[in-house]
Every structure is written in structure tokens, then in C-alpha cells.
């Protein structure tokens, strides 16, 4: 097994004498195994690592994990610096499942985001590489990212009262943050906790981006005060998160937990890039219109209410966990633009997009342990069901302030039919131990069901022959893992897994006639599927471990966005034939002496795709070979931990098109210090990109080497540069 050395250092920070991965219990395998028992590839980042490295968002979370990326959105359509989601082994977007305490977060729509995650009160993050559909359903086609929040006992640690306080500042986006959490045990049976966090800041500072636009140039109207092409538009953002849990354990057999988790993030952007004369996107000629002001606002909320019951027994069925959860997610985007028309009239345009996706989820999971003949069994099985309501509303109002006339347009943007999606899946996985548990065989099955029913309203404009209809699918997904322990230190493992992903409501039902182009529904899209193969070798002892694994994933019916049928002005979605990805991942961690640890992690991957069986095979764009090298030392007096992490990436050589931009390789050094200035009070200092290197992130490989003036104006490639030298400081204390 290959496991990220992030998990190693997080575990070893509490025990400087050596690595102790046996204490890191996974939630993503549902069986409660430790990291080193997992037959696959998983990265684990705990709260200790989040704090000591001053990690505050999901881009920073994976920035030093080879093979996993998160892209910041910098286009004019999404100026709020949100994130599009995780990319794992070259597969991203909605093909990677994201969960908070086991509950799903929304899938991304074209004019939306997947950035519904806040890292305050996070106990651990697990990143499963490769299909996880057998245990976690259709969304986990390419992987799974699971966030777990604090429980009362994490603050109490056996006491009757405990708490934590944290304050911090990050120069990258001048964010100042603070959080407070407290827990109280009222009896042996009842405890509660509550936490509140607040953050506020401004637009990110891309200090190594060029204001002249680099290879694209900068056709913005700088004389009118437009934002240069190396800067993000001025922005203000605030975020508030509240978490509360109540735990009642009437006896040793039962545990009941009720939790409330609420997030509200607001971002306001002064979209100055657009100021000045307007130019036609087709001819490039001035239209005579002049934009004088444009403001946009995003209010993003996530609320989760959950009731969880755990029943424990000493019988064959050792545990049953039942979770009933309701979570609502809202994305409200508004904007106001003031302009002067070619006729000299004053025009005000207001747009409003309201998107929501709400989930009612029921998860019943059971564990069983028994023996048959010479085989031991550790089985997990259950029901995973949910009902999702997806709603999209778009209204644009234009007021001629000179004449007083107002017009209204509905169903703009990427309008699609609202929908109700229902899933009810059954799954089982059995870890079978043979030869005294030296050989472990783990088969798994999931019967996945899917029903999506459109709810057409008056704003929807159907296309004859492509009217939205009910879609139903069922799949039997299979997995099989084998682990053989050669001795107490060496083991070899292999795994086969399948995944299945249904199209979203937007992919199936987008329909919008336009002046220059038309969005056409694709109600006959086929589900995406994957077959994945992995093979690994690992070594472990009480001072560290080493592991290497190879994988190959074959995706079929991959869905392509915005396909333009030749000879038309139509844009739609379609299935392409295959996408094949393969790669090698390796990691190593070791204690040197009593107080020094070394960690190394690397990932290489390549891929190809074919539009149809007869088409030419072309590259699939993937991150380049990336490696990290970390060295940490713990001083006893003063109680100080110093850490350095060097990240190096190779040149991007192969992309989906020969005309795509190919970022050059780079190396970046980060330094971190953690000083216990008072008992249980820690000062954390970070200097990222110490030598202030200029480099482009992996997401820049999706950009072209050249761009039209309209593209260069709205989406400068320079905004895909990585952060320059930044500083972060925080103080954390438990009591």
C-alpha cells in the first residue's frame, strides 16, 4: 500500500521516537481499519497538520500532495476565487465525491462551484485515490475526499470540560481568522460541544503574475481603470461557520449523536476588468457601449442536520450505525452593471442566479465478525440511500434609466430543468483472512440504483425531440483486493475496482436558445464507467515505512462538455469513447534518531483518450511528475518543531491539444515552525515559496498557447500562476 507521508508526519508528531500509523483509523473504508491495513492508496491529513502548516482552504490542503490538485477559478464568469473541486489521477470535477461527516456536497454546475468546504473544526481529511463506488456510490468514480469534524471527546480528552481557541493571518489573501470551541461533559452519559469560526479577507495576491498579460498580452482598458491582467479584481470575503453536537450514551451498547453544522460565506467583487469600451467578441470592433461600473456578490451557504445512532454488540454483528441527515446548499449570485449605450442612454443591468441542491440521506451500516472453517471474516454491509432536490433559477433585468423602460429575461445562463434524484443502494464487503491472516481477500459488491426525474417549470424551453424525461439506471459494481504478508514487515497487495457515474441534471437537460449559439439538451447521455487495477508493495516497521504502487484506470463513456456539432451553432454534451490513465505513486517516511523525520512522496501519471472507436488516440491532460521532500526536527528546549518541504514538478509535455499551453517545471520550498510558547499554546509560522519562484499551476495546461482579445481580456492566463512568497501565522491553544 502507498499512503501519503503526510499521514506519517501527522502521526509521528505526537511520538518523536518513531512512526505510529496503527493509531490512524480510517472512516472511508467503512470497516474502521488502520491506514496500513487499507488495500489501496489513501492520504490522511489530521488537525495537527492543518494547524502546523496554516492550511486554510482546499487548494492549500493538496498543494504538496503529488497527484492531487485543486484549481482556483479565475475567469470573469466566476470571479469569486472559488474552487472547482479535486482532481485525482487526472479525473476531477463531479467525478470525485466530496463528503463532510459522511454527507454529500453538491455537484458543480457550469456557472457554480464545489467549494462548500470550510476547514475550521476539521479533525481529519482522507483522500482515497481511485474508484470508491462500491462503498460510497456513483459519485466516487475517480476518488473520494472525506472531511470529519470534531466530536466532544476530541476537546474533552477524558475531562469534564475542554476547549480550543485559534487566531491567524495569511498574507496571500490578507485573511484574518479566529475560532473558539468548547465541550462540556454533564454526566457519564451526556456531553455537548459548540464552536464558532469567523474569517474575513480580500482578493488573493498573485505577486508573480505579469500585469502585461504574458503570452496573451493585456487588451483591457487600463486607461479607464480596468484591473491589470496580472491581478484579480478587488474583492472582500467573509465566512462564518458554527458547529454543535450533543452526544448521549445511555449504556455501553448505544450512542446517540445530534449535530448541526452551518456555513455562510459571502464574497463581493468589484469587477473592474470590464471597465471601458465594449468590443464585439466576434469582430473585435468597438460596439459603442461603455461600461462604467460592475459589482457582483456571492452568498454561499451549507447547513447540515444529522441524527446518528450507534449500536454495539459482542455478537456476530458487532456494530450498526444508522445516520439520518438533511443538508441544504444554496448558491445565490447577484450582479449590477452600469453602462452607457451607443446612443448615449444610461443602462442598468441586474442579474440573479439562485441554485440549490438539498439532500435527505439515510445510511445504515453494519459490521460483522465471524469464522468459517479456517477463514476469519470482517464484513461491512448496509443501505446507502438519498433523495436530492436540484433547482436552478436565473433572472436578468435591464432598465433604461434614460427612458425608464425595464425588460426581463428569464432562464439565462446555463438553464436546465430542475430535477429530483433518488438513489437506494445496497453494498457488502468482506475481508477474509486465510493462512493465519497472512493472506487477506476482500471482495465487494454494490447494487446501485439511480432515478432522475425532471421538474419542468415555465422557464424551461424544450427542444423538439430532446424533451426531458425520466432516467433510470441500475448497476452491479464489483471490487476485489488481495493482500499477502510476506513477513512482519513486507507485504504485497493488488486491487480491482469498478465505478459508475450518472449524468447530472445540467448535462441531461440544459436548454437555452441564444442569439449567437444555442444550448441543446442531451437526454440520452450514457453513464460514465471505470475499471481500475492497482498493484503495490510496502514495507513497515516501528520507525517508518516505504511503499510503491502502480495503477491503470480505463474510463468509458466519458462525458465531454460543450461539444459543437460541425456546421452548427449548437453546443451540447456527448459521450466520448474512452479515457485511459496510468501511473506510479510512491512514498517513504523514516525517523532518524530520536527527533528527526524525513518524508518523500512522488506521483507520475500519463493518459490517452479517444473520441470514438475509429478516432485517433490523443493525450489526456494530466499533472506532470511531481515529488515532495520533507525534513522535520523537534527541539526539546525550547519546545520547537522546524519543518521544510521542497516540492518539484517536471515540465508538462503532453496535453489534449498541441495548441494547449504547457507549463514549465518548477521547485518551491516552504518552511514551517511550531513553537509551544506556553503550556498547550502553540505559535505556528509558515513561509511558503521562500525563494519567490514564478510558476504556473497544473490547471494552466487547459489553457491555449494563444487567445483571442476577448478571451485574454476575460480570462488572463497569468491568473493561473502559483502564489509567490507568502507568510502565515497562527496561535492555537487548548484548555
Question: What's the pLDDT at 37?
Answer: 76
The three-point CA angle 45-135-482 to 5° equals 85
Q: Which residues contact 26 (CB under 8 A, 6 or more apart)?
A: 32, 33, 34, 35, 38, 42, 44, 126
Q: How open is the CA angle 635-3-497, to the nearest 5 degrees?
A: 170
Quote the CA–CA distance of 704 and 721 in Å, as a whole number. Answer: 15
pLDDT higher than 80, residue 233: yes
Separation between Cα atoms, residue 75 and residue 720, nearest integer Å: 10
User: Rounded to an integer, what distance in angstroms lies between the CA atom of residue 5 and that of residue 23?
Assistant: 15
Q: What is the pLDDT of residue 3?
A: 44
C-alpha cell at 189: 452519559
Residue 19: predicted pLDDT = 53
* Average pLDDT for 393-404: 96
Mean of pLDDT over the chain: 93
The percent of residues in the chain predicted with pLDDT above 90, rounded, is: 84
pLDDT at 9: 38
**Mean pLDDT along residues 8-20:** 40
Angle at 82 between CA 662 and CA 215, to 5 degrees: 30
SS3 594: coil
**Range among 1-5, 19-23, 454-458 with highest mean pLDDT value:** 454-458
pLDDT at 23: 57
DSSP letters spanning 631-647: EEEEETTTTEEEEEEEE
Average pLDDT estimate for 154-182: 97
| Angle 286-290-294 from CA coordinates, rounded to 5° | 130
Quote the pLDDT of residue 423. 96
Read off the C-alpha cell for 171: 498574507
Decide: helix, strand or coil at residue 693: coil
- Local confidence band at 280 (pLDDT 50, 70, 90 cut-offs): confident
Question: What is the pLDDT, as a whole number, of residue 20?
Answer: 55
Structure confidence at residue 78 (pLDDT): 87
Confidence tier at 15 by pLDDT (50, 70, 90): very low
Contact call for residues 420 and 450 (beta carbons, < 8 A)? no
List, for residues 461-476, the tens digit of each pLDDT value.
Answer: 899 999 999 999 999 9
Note the pLDDT tens digit of each residue in 339-388.
999 999 999 999 999 999 999 999 999 999 999 999 999 999 999 999 99
The pLDDT, as a whole number, for residue 577 is: 86
pLDDT confidence of residue 547: 92
The pLDDT confidence band at residue 444, using thresholds 50, 70 and 90, is: very high
Q: Scan for cell 445562463, then name that residue.
A: 413
Residue 422 in this model has a pLDDT that exceeds 60: yes
Peptide bond into 491 cis (omega under 30): no
The pLDDT assigned to 296 comes to 97
Among 17-21, 186-190, 209-213, 418-422, name the one with the lowest average pLDDT: 17-21
Query: In percent, how much of the chain has pLDDT > 70?
Result: 97
Give 509's DSSP letter: H
Using CA of residue 165, residue 265, residue 105, residue 51, what is the dihedral sign? Answer: negative
CA dihedral (606, 612, 613, 616) positive or negative: negative
pLDDT on residue 21:
53
- Collapsing DSSP to helix, strand or coil, 467 comes out as coil
pLDDT at 12: 35
pLDDT digits (tens, 9 = 90+) for 50-109: 999 999 999 999 999 999 999 989 988 889 989 989 999 989 989 999 999 999 999 999
pLDDT band with cut points at 50, 70 and 90 for residue 412: confident
CA 99 to CA 70: how far, in whole Å?
16
Instruction: Name, of 19-28, 167-176, 607-616, the range with top average pLDDT.
Output: 167-176
Q: What are phi and psi of 340, to 5 degrees?
A: -115, 125
Average pLDDT over residues 325-352: 97
pLDDT tier, 35 (very low <50, low <70, confident <90, very high otherwise): confident
Kindly indicate the confidence band of residue 614, based on its pLDDT and cuts at 50, 70 and 90.
confident
Question: Residue 10's pLDDT is what?
Answer: 37
**Of how many residues is the chain composed?**
735
Quote the distance between the C-alpha of residue 647 and its chain's center. 21
Contact assessment for residue 562 and residue 569, using Cβ atoms and an 8 Å cutoff: no
pLDDT of 1 strictly over 70: no
Amino acid at each position: 500500500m502507498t499512503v501519503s507521508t503526510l499521514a506519517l508526519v501527522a502521526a509521528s508528531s505526537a511520538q518523536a521516537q518513531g512512526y505510529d500509523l496503527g493509531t490512524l483509523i480510517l472512516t472511508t473504508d467503512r470497516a474502521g481499519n488502520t491506514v496500513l491495513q487499507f488495500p489501496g492508496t489513501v492520504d490522511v491529513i489530521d488537525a495537527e497538520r492543518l494547524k502546523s502548516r496554516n492550511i486554510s482552504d482546499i487548494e492549500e490542503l493538496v498543494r504538496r500532495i503529488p497527484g492531487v490538485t485543486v484549481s482556483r477559478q479565475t475567469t470573469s464568469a466566476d470571479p469569486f476565487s472559488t474552487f472547482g473541486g479535486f482532481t485525482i489521477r487526472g479525473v476531477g470535477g463531479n467525478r470525485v465525491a466530496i463528503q463532510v461527516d459522511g454527507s454529500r456536497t453538491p455537484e458543480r454546475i457550469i456557472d457554480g462551484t464545489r467549494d462548500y468546504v470550510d476547514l475550521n473544526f476539521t479533525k481529519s481529511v482522507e483522500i482515497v485515490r481511485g474508484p470508491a463506488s462500491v462503498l460510497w456510490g456513483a459519485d466516487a468514480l475517480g476518488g473520494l475526499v472525506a472531511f470529519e469534524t470534531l466530536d466532544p471527546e476530541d476537546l474533552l480528552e477524558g475531562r469534564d470540560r475542554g476547549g480550543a481557541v485559534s487566531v491567524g493571518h495569511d498574507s496571500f489573501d490578507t485573511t484574518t481568522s479566529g475560532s473558539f470551541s468548547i465541550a462540556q461533559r454533564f454526566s457519564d452519559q451526556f456531553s455537548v460541544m459548540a464552536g464558532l469560526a469567523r474569517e474575513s479577507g480580500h482578493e488573493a495576491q498573485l505577486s508573480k503574475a505579469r500585469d502585461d498579460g504574458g503570452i496573451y498580452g493585456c487588451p483591457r482598458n487600463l486607461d479607464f481603470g480596468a484591473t491589470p491582467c496580472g491581478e484579480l479584481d478587488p474583492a472582500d470575503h467573509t465566512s462564518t461557520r458554527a458547529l454543535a453536537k450533543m452526544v448521549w450514551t445511555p449504556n455501553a451498547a448505544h450512542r446517540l449523536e445530534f449535530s448541526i453544522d452551518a456555513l455562510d460565506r459571502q464574497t463581493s467583487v468589484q469587477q473592474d476588468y470590464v471597465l471601458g469600451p465594449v468590443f464585439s467578441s466576434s469582430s473585435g470592433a468597438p460596439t459603442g457601449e461603455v461600461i462604467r461600473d460592475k459589482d457582483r456578490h456571492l452568498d454561499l451557504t451549507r447547513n447540515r442536520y444529522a441524527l446518528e445512532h450507534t449500536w454495539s454488540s459482542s455478537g456476530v454483528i458487532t456494530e450498526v450505525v444508522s445516520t439520518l441527515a438533511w443538508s441544504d446548499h444554496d448558491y445565490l449570485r447577484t450582479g449590477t452593471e452600469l453602462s452607457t449605450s451607443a446612443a448615449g442612454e444610461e443602462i442598468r443591468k441586474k442579474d440573479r442566479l439562485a441554485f440549490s441542491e438539498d439532500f435527505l440521506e439515510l445510511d445504515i451500516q453494519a459490521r460483522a465478525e465471524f469464522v468459517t472453517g479456517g477463514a476469519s471474516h470482517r464484513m461491512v454491509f448496509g443501505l446507502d440511500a438519498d433523495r436530492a432536490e436540484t433547482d436552478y433559477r436565473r433572472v436578468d433585468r435591464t432598465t433604461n434609466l434614460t427612458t425608464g423602460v425595464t425588460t426581463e429575461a428569464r432562464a439565462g445562463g446555463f438553464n436546465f430543468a430542475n430535477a429530483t434524484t433518488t438513489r437506494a443502494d445496497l453494498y457488502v464487503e468482506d475481508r477474509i483472512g486465510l493462512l493465519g491472516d497472512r493472506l487477506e481477500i476482500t471482495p465487494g459488491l454494490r447494487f446501485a440504483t439511480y432515478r432522475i426525474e425532471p421538474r419542468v417549470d415555465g422557464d424551461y424551453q424544450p427542444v423538439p425531440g430532446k424533451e426531458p424525461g425520466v432516467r433510470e439506471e441500475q448497476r452491479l459494481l464489483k471490487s476485489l483486493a488481495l493482500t499477502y504478508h510476506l513477513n512482519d514487515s513486507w507485504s504485497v497487495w493488488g486491487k480491482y475496482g469498478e465505478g459508475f457515474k450518472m449524468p447530472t441534471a445540467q448535462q441531461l437537460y440544459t436548454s437555452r436558445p441564444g442569439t449567437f449559439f444555442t444550448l441543446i439538451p442531451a437526454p440520452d447521455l450514457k453513464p460514465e464507467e471505470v475499471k481500475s487495477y492497482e498493484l503495490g508493495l510496502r514495507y513497515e516497521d516501528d520507525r517508518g515505512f516505504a511503499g510503491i504502487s502502480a495503477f491503470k484506470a480505463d474510463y468509458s463513456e466519458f462525458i465531454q462538455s460543450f461539444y459543437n456539432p460541425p456546421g452548427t451553432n449548437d453546443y451540447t454534451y456527448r459521450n466520448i469513447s474512452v479515457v485511459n490513465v496510468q501511473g506510479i505513486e510512491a512514498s517513504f517516511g523514516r525517523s532518524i534518531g530520536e527527533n528527526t523525520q524525513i518524508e518523500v512522496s512522488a506521483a507520475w501519471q500519463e493518459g490517452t483518450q479517444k473520441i470514438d472507436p475509429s478516432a485517433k488516440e490523443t493525450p489526456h491532460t494530466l499533472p506532470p511528475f511531481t515529488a515532495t521532500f520533507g525534513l522535520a526536527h523537534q527541539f526539546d528546549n525550547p519546545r520547537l518543531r522546524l519543518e521544510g518541504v521542497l516540492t518539484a514538478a517536471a515540465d508538462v509535455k503532453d496535453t489534449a491539444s498541441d495548441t494547449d499551453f504547457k507549463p514549465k517545471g518548477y521547485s518551491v520550498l516552504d518552511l514551517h515552525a511550531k513553537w509551544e510558547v506556553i503550556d498547550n499554546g502553540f505559535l505556528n509560522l509558515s513561509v511558503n515559496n521562500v525563494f519567490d519562484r514564478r510558476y504556473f499551476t497544473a490547471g494552466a495546461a487547459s489553457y491555449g498557447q494563444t487567445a483571442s482579445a476577448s478571451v485574454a481580456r476575460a480570462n488572463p492566463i497569468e491568473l493561473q500562476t502559483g502564489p509567490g512568497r507568502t507568510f502565515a501565522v497562527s496561535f492555537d491553544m487548548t484548555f
